[in-house]
Structure formats: C-alpha cells, structure tokens
Chain A
Amino acid sequence: MQSATATPNDEVLTSADGTPLQVALARATRKAKWRAFWLVAPLLLFIIITFAIPIAQMLYRSVHNTAFSENMPAVGEYLRNNDITDVPGEAAFAALVSDLITARENKTIGSVATRMNYEFPGARSQFTGSARKAKRLEPPFKEALIAIDKDWNSKHLWNVMKRASNPIGGSFYLAAVDMRYDENGNAVRVDAKKRIYVPLFVRTLWLSALISTLCFILAFPVAHLLATLPLRYSNLLMIFVLLPFWTSLLVRTTAWIALLQGQGVLNDVLVGVNILDDENRVQLMYNQAGTIIAMTHILLPFMILPLYSVMKSIPPTYVRAARSLGASSWTAFWKVYFPQTIPGIGAGVLLVFILSIGFYITPALVGGSSGQLISNEIARHMLQSLNWSLAAALGGILLFIIIVLYWLFDKLIGVDNMKLG
C-alpha cells in the first residue's frame, strides 16, 4: 500500500469501516468496470475473431509451411539430424524413396513438389516424375534416382530440402524481398531481371505518395471552401463530396474506364474537336495513369473530410487578427492558417497513403500491367499460384511498412493531434 502523503505519521487512509481507502475505492468501482466491460465485450470478441486472429494467422503462415515436413517424414527426419555438406548417401535416398511412395499414395506429392518448386525451379516435375517411378525402383536408390533426374545429385536441392524439413523458416520473406539462398545457403539477391516484389513495393509506395500529394493539392481548397462558405452553399458542396463517397467503388472505377479508355468519352471528344488524330488517342486507362487518376478520385473524400473538420474549427478571427497585425494575405495564410491545419493534413495524408498502399480493386481493373500494386500480387498468390505463405510474407511486409509509417507520423505530428472528422 502506498503511503498516503496527506496524513501525518505515514498512516494509510482508511474509509469509515477501517478498510484502506484504495481497496474500498477499487471495490466500489469494480461493478461499474465490469458492466462497462460486458458492454464492449461483443465488439472486443468480434475484433479478436475477425481481425486479431487472422492477422496473427497470416503472420504465422508467412514463416510456417508444413508442405514438405509433414508429407516427407522419413527424409525430413534424416535431414533434421544431419548436416548437408554434400549430396548425402544411400540412407537419405532410401528415406526419400519411401517418402515419395507414401506421398504418391496419399496424393500429397503435388503440394510437396509445389513447395520445392518455389525455391528450386524444375523441382515440380522432378518430384512428381520420380514419385511416379519410385515404386519400381531397386536399391541402391541413390544411383536409381539420379538416373531418373540428375538434379537429385544437386547439393543445392538437398539444402533446399533441409530448410524445408523445418516447418519454421524465413525463406518466404526472403522471396518477398527478391532474395534467395544460393547453393551454399547464403542469402543473395535474385537476378536483376527476376526481381518483382521490391520494384513493386517501391512502385506502390511511390504511387501512394503521389496519390496522397495529388489528393492533398485537390482537397485543400475544396475543404477550405466547405469550411468557409455560408451553410447553404457548403451543404450542397458537401453533398458533391459525399455522393461519390457513397457510390460503389466498382461503379466509380468502371465510370472512369468508360470516360478515359481509348474509345472512351474523353478521347472521342478530343478526336471530335480535332485536338487529337484518330490514331493518336491518349492512353489513360490500363496503365499507371489510370491507376493514379481513378485512385485519386476515389480517395479524395478521405482527404477532404479530415481537412474540413480541422478547418471548420479554426475561427476566421485568426486570419483577421494576423491581417490587422500587418500580415499580407499570403503571410496570414502561411504563418497562421496553414500551421493550424496540419493535424488535418496529417490525418488525411496518413489515411490516403495507408489506404492506397493496400488498394486492390481499382489497380486490378484499370492498372494494366504498369499500374499494378503490391496488393494485386498478393491477391495473385492467394487466388492463382496458391502460394499462401509468400502472400502472407508480402502482407506481413506491408503491415510492417504501415506500422513504421504510423510510428513516423506519431513522431512528426503526434497521433493525439490527428483529427479524422
């Protein structure tokens, strides 16, 4: 118990019946605390089930893959207990053959082969082909397997298998940053031509920054108008801001396609008034320009609303005061008005930036190949290549970037200062 500084002789403050005051207070407030807890419990449960657990699961999946270790138990056992300094001997190959036979019988050889193929190109056909013939093989298995496919004599493959025998590993994160293990087990960058994800991350960050900047430039005057116009007009303007906000994302994106595509409204008009030749129509869709235009439009309200709410709270007397003190209208804006809008700018930029980093539908529809973002690649691995671990690793990196950005924002502006509306 803390010593109560208010009383002399270091006595503990007590309530009328002699219980220490802090205990009595805790007892008195406990009931209210429990009631409050039960009120928020459904939401808490909902968030845990639909948000916290999936994220934890995703992060776990990005470092945990059992496709090899579970389906190839015998050779897995061997690999876990032995170092691979060279292609191993007959014992390992015997275990491998028995695993191949079981895996083929259990119809799990496909997932094993796919897992190996991530890190050792060509391993898919090598594994499935060898498994098909495994039942008929005679010892010595080493020579027999190598006869089927000479890649079985590759130390690199055995290193890959050794790593895969441990279900926990960072190889997917390595792949997600365009790196791989070489024959000797060192992490190296992949060939410049094969680098996909890092350039895509860079493009995603760069486009997000560009879109945030464009949104800010477009939103600032609009928000200012909204905050300063008489209520009659500002309500109307607000509806214009919110109407697209309430319209389906898909509708808005397809509307942009209809407007901007090669045979779209804009090009037809430009050709119609002879500004453009029919052959030289501007390509504003299915490329980066399409992604930028459509996303800027879609995310604009997320910038306008926080800016508006901050600007609304700045009384016009500040600018008037600055003017009366001798500041030109520019100085009054720049030194007095603008600094007070920074919480809104911070909130808006952070919101738009984080949303655009994870944007999927719009770039998928209008991005073409040059306008794809990292989320499109994550979706591809989720839905098409079924490499969920790599998708999870890419998502994990995205999450990490967002956390870093949030931390940076907190350092620069302070989350307490952020106003979301």
Chain B
Amino acid sequence: MSLDNPMVRFDNVQKSYDGKTLVVKNLDVDIAQGEFLTMLGPSGSGKTTSLMMLAGFEPATHGEIYLNGKPINNVPPNKRGIGMVFQNYALFPHMTVAENLAFPLKVRNVSPSEIDKKVQRILELVELPEFGQRRPAQLSGGQQQRVAVARALVFEPELVLMDEPLGALDKQLREQMQYEIKHIHENLGVTVVYVTHDQSEALTMSDRIAVFEDGVIQQLSSPNDLYEKPDNSFVAQFIGENNRLSGSITGIDGKVCHVTLDSGDQVTAEKVVDGDVGTRTTLSIRPERIELDPEPGTVPVNIPGKIEELIYLGDHIRVRMSVAGTSEFIVKVRNSSGRRDLEVGQSTTVGWDPEDCRALDEITT
C-alpha cells in the first residue's frame, strides 16, 4: 500500500542483528499524517525492531526510512523530533514529574516561562494538574503512564511512537488508558505508531493494524477487515478466536470454492488461498458466526456435530463440539430468552454462511 504523501515510509527495510538471520524482512509501509497505526504481532516478530529503527535506536541493515519525505537513516534520534513512550515508561526517577516534562523543552532551549506554561497545559491534558512536584515513584502505574504520554507529547512532535505502553498495567486500567490515548490522538491529531502484542488493544485503538510474523507484515488493514477478512491462517488465528477445518478444494465457482473436509463433509467457503482444484486449505470460521441446529434450508452449509462441553459465560454460552473430525470446534450461543436447551452428548448440526467461512492457506502442523 502506498500513499501520496506519507508521513513515514519504510522502503524495503531489512534488519539483521547477527548477520545470519533477518529480524525484519523487506518492510514496506506508508503511514499517513494523523493516522493511528498499530504494529501487532507475537514477541520476536520484528514489530519492536521496526519501531526502534523508526525512532533511530537501531540502524536499518538495508533500505531507507523516510520521515516527511526525507531519508532519516543517518539522523540521530534526538534530531528526528519523534516522541516516544516506552514499555516501562522510562520516567527519570531523579526528577520530579514537572522536571521530566520540562526535559524535552529544556534541551530545545525553550524559555522558562514558556516551559512552565506548556508543562501545566500538558498536565491538564492528562488530568494530573496537581502532580507536577511529585517524583515518578510516588505515582501509581496509571499515573506514570499518563506522565510518560505527556512527556512524549509536550514538545509537540508530529509523530509519537508507543512501545507496548500499557503492558505493565492491570486489565481494567489498561482498557481505560486505551480510550484515553485514543482520545488524545483524536484531539491532537498527531500520528501514532503503536506496538503491542495484545490484539484487543490493537482492535480498540487503531485506524490500521499491521500484523507482524517472522519479520514480515502478514496483513495491513483496518481492524474490521482484519477480523472479518483475514488474508491467511496466521492472521485468522492471531486475531480473535477461530475454528479451523482442514480439507481440499474440489471445485471453484468464482469467489466461492467447494471444499471436501478430511472427514468427508462437503462445505462451501470464500476462496482466499491461491491455487486450483486439489489445493489443500484450512477453513477459518469465527465461533459467533456459526449457527447451532439451523432450520433446514436457511444456510447453505449444514454438517453434523455433537456437543462435548458447555461453558456458561453469562452473556453467551461456549459450546465445544466434535465437528468434521475435530473435537475443538467452538460455537458461541447468545444467551437469549428464546435459546433452546443444550445438553452434553446431544447430536445436532452446525451451519454457516459461506461468506463467513474463509478458505485460507493450509496450516501444516
């Protein structure tokens, strides 16, 4: 994907630490002005390395990174004007909150009165107006997090990088901070590049998500598309829950293909994987898109299954089933008033719309 005037452009960037393996392979990304782009992936997938290259802490082994159209490979981190929020906040422990916030302004020779004004304004933005004279150690994790964000924003950079900034917070606080960071992004209009391994965080906050695996971006698209239309099995598996069924393509009908599962059941699915009849494929279906015991004729796909386990989760019931040779087939049933009684051991059928079932590359495990 290439934009006309990207704020950041990774142009065929590669990175190797040991000269033997590539941590980042052929990275090509354009990031638009004002965008919130998340790099999502398991640890060791190259997402943090990519961020560090952008920040200037790691040199690219090959390729060029452009910021506002200018190559920045040889620009030291302090001249890039990029704000950064670190995983463990990295607030300077020997300075007060106000001194921490004043630091980027001081090194830029801003006048003291101006510094005071800006520090106070940013403290109000992150809703900590009274905390200027405290030391970082006297703040709670959430407060430290806000100060770290404030410090990355106080010198008004156009681009802010965040390296798993919420990783150290508990779940509730993390969710709250997600919204706060999202709102700050919307209010200030800064461009944010955000690194996380938490998919729900990525889905909540991002305009676009780049899913990293093995040094390669597997898919770069909006949260919506990423969840609904994964390009490959890795993305389908990494984002949200999904049921996998293995089989071979036996017929192609435009965008739809007919698949014979290894159990012998015949289903239709949206064809995503490249290849002709005979190609092995892994089908991916989200648990909430499956209908349990559908009325005959209402859905095109309808195969038998048996209920193995019921887990009551309040708003929905997780039903683990044996379907087409796998006993890990999960169906989410909404806990609505009209719900039928379910019993373990009950034989029934499952069905889905072919649009919700994607024939992806085969997982060879």
Listed in ascending order, the chain A residues whose CB lies under 8 Å from chain B are: 315, 317-318, 320-329, 331-332, 335-336, 339-340
Contacts and interface: CB of A to CB of B under 8 A. Distances in A.
B155 A324 contact: no
Interface string B150-169: 01100100000100000000
Interface stretch (B75-83, B222-230, B239-247): B75-83
B108 A326 contact: yes
Given A324-B83, A325-B107, A327-B103, A318 B90 contact: yes
B94 interface: yes
Given A318-B92, A320-B86, A320-B90, A325 B103 contact: yes
B289 to A, nearest CB: 42
B57 interface: yes
Nearest to B82: A324
A415 to B, nearest CB: 18
B209 to A, nearest CB: 23
Interface of B: 55-57, 76-78, 80-84, 86-88, 90, 92-94, 103-104, 107-108, 151-152, 155, 161
B352 to A, nearest CB: 47
A317 B87 contact: yes
A321 B83 CA distance: 9
Contacts of A327: 78, 103-104, 107
A329 B108 CA distance: 14
Interface of B is mostly: loop
Given A315-B88, A318-B90, A324 B107 contact: no
Contact of A340 (B55, B83, B93, B152): B93
6 contacts: A321-B84, A323-B76, A324-B56, A324-B84, A325-B103, A326-B81
B103 A335 contact: yes
A326 B94 contact: no
Contacts of A317: 86-88, 90
Given A324-B78, A327-B103, 19 more contacts: A315-B88, A317-B90, A318-B92, A320-B77, A320-B84, A320-B86, A321-B92, A325-B78, A325-B84, A325-B104, A326-B107, A327-B78, A327-B104, A328-B78, A329-B78, A335-B103, A336-B92, A339-B94, A340-B92
Contacts of B76: 323, 329
A274 B92 CA distance: 54
B86 A321 contact: yes
Contacts of B55: 320, 324
Residue with the greatest number of chain B CB neighbours at <10 A, chosen from A326, A328, A329, A336? A326
A324 B84 CA distance: 6
A340 B94 CA distance: 7
A325 B151 contact: yes
Nearest to A319: B90
B94 A325 contact: no
A322 B90 CA distance: 9
Residue with the greatest number of chain A CB neighbours at <10 A, chosen from B83, B94, B152? B94
Contact of B155 (A326, A329, A335, A336): A326
Given A335-B103, A336-B92, A340-B93, A323 B78 contact: yes
A331 B82 CA distance: 17
Contacts of A325: 78, 83-84, 103-104, 107, 151-152, 155
B108 A322 contact: no
B88 A323 contact: no
B168 to A, nearest CB: 12
A318 to B, nearest CB: 5
Contacts of B107: 325-328, 331
A322 B152 CA distance: 10
A237 B153 CA distance: 41
- 8 nearest A-B pairs in the assembled complex, by CB-CB distance: A325-B104, A321-B90, A324-B84, A317-B90, A323-B77, A339-B94, A326-B107, A327-B107
A315 B93 contact: no
Nearest to A317: B90
A340 B93 CA distance: 8
A296 B90 CA distance: 36
Contacts of A335: 103
B162 to A, nearest CB: 11
A329 B87 CA distance: 21
Contacts of B81: 326
A322 B56 CA distance: 13
Contacts of B104: 325-327
A339 B100 CA distance: 14
Residue with the greatest number of chain A CB neighbours at <10 A, chosen from B76, B82, B84, B90? B90
Contacts of A315: 88, 90
Contacts of B80: 324
A326 B86 contact: no
A159 to B, nearest CB: 59
A317 B86 CA distance: 7
Contact of A326 (B78, B88, B93): B78
Nearest to B79: A326
A145 B92 CA distance: 81
B56 to A, nearest CB: 8
Nearest to B81: A326
Contacts of B86: 317, 320-321
A331 B103 CA distance: 10
Contacts of B103: 322, 325, 327, 335
A329 to B, nearest CB: 8
A8 B90 CA distance: 47
Residue with the greatest number of chain A CB neighbours at <10 A, chosen from B86, B87, B152? B86
Nearest to B87: A317
A135 to B, nearest CB: 79
A385 B161 CA distance: 74
Nearest to A320: B57
A339 B161 CA distance: 26
Nearest to B91: A321
Contacts of A323: 56-57, 76-78
A324 B151 CA distance: 11
Residue with the greatest number of chain B CB neighbours at <10 A, chosen from A322, A325, A336? A325
A247 to B, nearest CB: 37
B95 to A, nearest CB: 8
A328 B94 CA distance: 19
Nearest to B55: A324
A317 B151 CA distance: 14
Contacts of A321: 84, 86, 90, 92, 151
A405 B157 CA distance: 48
Contacts of A332: 78
Contacts of B88: 315, 317
B350 to A, nearest CB: 49
A340 B87 CA distance: 19
A320 B48 CA distance: 14
B189 to A, nearest CB: 20
